[in-house]
Amino acid sequence: MITIKNVNKQFNTKRGTITALHQINLDIRAGEIFGVIGYSGAGKSTLLRLLNGLELPNTGIIHVADQEISSAKEASLRKARQEIGMIFQHFNLLWSRTVRDNIAFPLEIAGVKKAERQARVDELIKLVGLEGRADAYPAELSGGQKQRVGIARALANRPKVLLCDEATSALDPETTDAILNLLVDINKRLGITIVLITHEMQVIRKICHRVAVMENGEIVELGDVLQVFKHPQQTITKTFVQQMTETDDTKETASHLLEKYPNGKIVKLTFIGDMTAQPLMTDFIRSHSLTINILHGSINQTQEGAYGTLFLHIEGTEDEMEAALQYLQTRQIGVEVVTAHD
């Protein structure tokens, strides 16, 4: 559905040439929800602008929905963009138009007849859950309702790809969950490919099938979300995962316990899939003569299954602790000995 080959993008500024993207290679499958995560300046927004032709690469080739975007001229680019919907962080609605008229706007530009426009708008209002608000103006809507209008507008021309530019970062947590659930529902109902950029791992965890981690204009890690959560390779990826699985209280408790029990170990356990529902800790405690304190635990759902983490402090002889860690590893549990300052 989306292919990016050897793409580089530089910008010329008064301070010199800035490399925004370096040797980007990526294949995004039809029908998947693909996440791109990185901090500010990582290059993710530039990548998204290349996908809809708002920017052109200096080198490399980009195909989106069977159209080459990287070298398209104005007429062919306009046609290609009809296959690509876009939703924005700050909604970008027309404030003088009602909900109905905002959604209809891209259909008007495409020359769709009025009766067909009205039928399509009614269909989209129902799809995004805005029944009863068709004649409201953006100023009368909540943030979540505004984003629902933006999503409906992006879907108006029946695109094959939906690009989401930090689509939930301006919303509160409850509204964010509602919008993410809506995107998952749209993906399943319509089979549309969704590319979502964000700086929040919670968003990636909740709805994405695969994720690319970006840093300094490069893709530094790529994989299925569940596997990236379980085995993050790069420092930046580990930081994103830790933001979800560790809390300040956990770290403070770990520091306190290591001071009190200097011979003990802080252990991070990770579980995926059906392992999260097994009584493994009961078996572990019964089969080992250790002092065990549970510091923090959580189970998160991803599109591909559950991912759980559990932080323990264990104390015993070195041989007993080593045997306990080997016992856990033989049961397909991820085991990592951490320190209080990690």
DSSP one-letter code for 246: -
Does residue 116 come out as left (phi exceeding 0), alpha (psi in the -120 to 50 range) or beta?
Answer: alpha
Considering the chain, what percentage of its residues have pLDDT values greater than 90?
Answer: 54
Q: What is the pLDDT of residue 289?
A: 79
Residue owning tokens 């009205």: 118
Q: Report d(CA 129, CA 66) in Å as an integer.
A: 31
Residue ranges of alpha helices (H) inside 52-207 are: 74-81, 99-109, 114-127, 143-155, 173-190, 201-207
Out of 214, 241, 268, a domain closes at 241
Out of 241, 273, 293, a domain closes at 241
As to burial, measured by CB atoms within 10 angstroms (0-12 exposed, 13-18 middle, 19+ buried), residue 315 is: middle
Same domain, 202 and 296: no
The tokens describing 310, both together, are 């559990």
HSE of 266 in the Cβ direction (CA atoms, 13 Å)?
21
State the Cα angle at 160 between 46 and 150, rounded to 5°.
65
Q: What is the pLDDT of residue 342?
A: 45
Task: Return all residues near 154 (Cβ < 8 A) that are at least 6 apart.
Answer: 85, 86, 87, 162
Out of 213, 241, 269, a domain closes at 241
Q: What is the pLDDT of residue 298?
A: 78
pLDDT confidence bin for 121, thresholds 50/70/90: very high
pLDDT digits (tens, 9 = 90+) for 195-227: 999 999 989 999 999 999 999 999 999 999 988
Q: What is the pLDDT of residue 252?
A: 65
CATH number, domain of 264, equals 3.30.70.260
Longest dimension (CA), the chain: 79
Query: Which residue range is the domain that position 332 belongs to?
Result: 246-338
Q: What is the pLDDT of residue 119?
A: 96
Q: What is the mean pLDDT of residues 63-76?
A: 84
CATH number, domain of 97, equals 3.40.50.300
Count of domains forming the chain: 2
Q: Report d(CA 48, CA 194) in Å as an integer.
A: 12
Q: Which residue has the higher pLDDT, 157 or 241?
A: 157
pLDDT at 294 over 50: yes
